[in-house]
Amino acid sequence: MLANYLAKYKSGISILIIILFCSSNLIWKSNILSRTANKASIILDFFSETFHGIGEGVKRVVGSYSSYQNIKEERDLLREKLHASRELKVKVKELQRENIRLLQLLKIPPVVDFPVIQAEVISQDPDNWFRTIIINKGSNDGVSTYMPVMAVQVKRSTIGTHQTEKLVQAVVGKVIQVNPNSSRILPIVDKHSRLGIRLSRTNHWAMLMGKNSKSELPQLDYLSLSVFAKLGDEIVTSGGEGIFPKRLLVGYIGKNVERLGGFQRTDVIPAIDFQKLDYVYIIKKKWDKSKFKFKSLTVDSITEE
């Protein structure tokens, strides 16, 4: 009887279960079900890393194949040299990649007094709405929540016919969740991100919000009206929230400047290209929460003073 009833209305019952499950989780965001279910992310991260490795392997194979195709066209002319040159080309490419990576590591100026750990990005952005980065280092490597994350990237610019390359070292975000062998990073471009910053040129403090109601870029808010923010002005961390060390590069002032009450808002162009993020490094600086625990002000405490 019950089995017949369930079979007859299986779609309706399924929809009801799914709607109840999802809406209860969306309303009570910290419920035990969500907390337990999210533990599954540890397993998913493990497979993500494996799949990322496979993906990189496929990429390399595709890359080797395309270079093979180019060499094939020249085979009739340089048949004997072909194998040697192909192998050499692949080796040179590998070495170039390794060289860039090592150069990036070597050239990291000691901007922070804390030890750093290098990590590889194994998963990024599950869709076009959220910005989440998962890396292959976790609590087993000494990573803990609220550790700052930075990256080094090569920025290419062309002035006339001359091409210049510059190494940029800037803030990526902070660690928000740690598993034994993987961690989640909240990048500064995510709408949940908030970061205390200062304008490098004038030393004025402001807040960088990942959320921007007008564009896809992060937004600088609470910047004093007395500051004349110019396009391209450098923005660095203020160190005010106690998570990030002071004066780490964050980005540059963008185009849209808007006045709002006693403050001004402006778009920010991040110094890091989040589409090309392969490696990051985590600064092993723990957040000292105790500095931010203030005693509540009572009438007694005022009169005692």
Q: Which residues of this protein are in contact with another protein, per CB under 8 A?
A: 10-11, 14-15, 18-19, 21-23, 25-27, 29-30, 33-35, 37-38, 40-41, 44, 47-49, 51-52, 55, 59, 122-130, 132, 134, 145, 176-177, 184, 186, 191-192, 211-216, 275
Closest contact distance (angstroms) between CB of 281 and another protein is 20
Q: What's the residue count for the chain?
A: 305
What would the DSSP string read from start to end of 207-263? EEES--SSSSS-EEEEEETT----TT-EEEE--TTSSSPTT-EEEEEEEEEEEETTE
Q: Min. distance of Cβ 202 from another protein in angstroms?
A: 29
Q: Which is nearer to another protein, 145 or 224 (CB)?
A: 145
Among 191, 169, 291, residue whose Cα is nearest residue 241: 291
Cβ nearer to another protein, comparing 203 with 256: 256
CB of 31 to another protein, least distance (A): 8
In the complex, least distance from residue 43 CB atom to another protein, rounded to whole angstroms: 9
The CA distance from 64 to 72, in Å, is: 12
Give me the half-sphere count of Cα atoms (radius 13 Å) on the Cβ side of residue 30: 0
Which CB atom, from 44 or from 167, has the smaller least distance to another protein?
Answer: 44
Which value, in Å, is the radius of gyration of the alpha carbons in the chain? 25
Closest CA to 207 of 168, 169, 245, 250: 250
Closer residue to another protein, CB minimum distance, 13 or 78: 13
| Shortest reach from residue 40's CB to another protein, in Å | 5
How far is the C-alpha of 172 from the C-alpha of 62, rounded, in Å?
30
Cβ proximity to another protein, 214 vs 255, nearer residue: 214
Of the candidates 266, 260, 261, 172, the one whose C-alpha atom is nearest the C-alpha of residue 217 is 266
| Minimal distance, residue 30 CB to another protein, in Å | 4
Closer Cβ to another protein, 8 or 81, answer by number: 8
**What does DSSP assign to residue 187?**
E
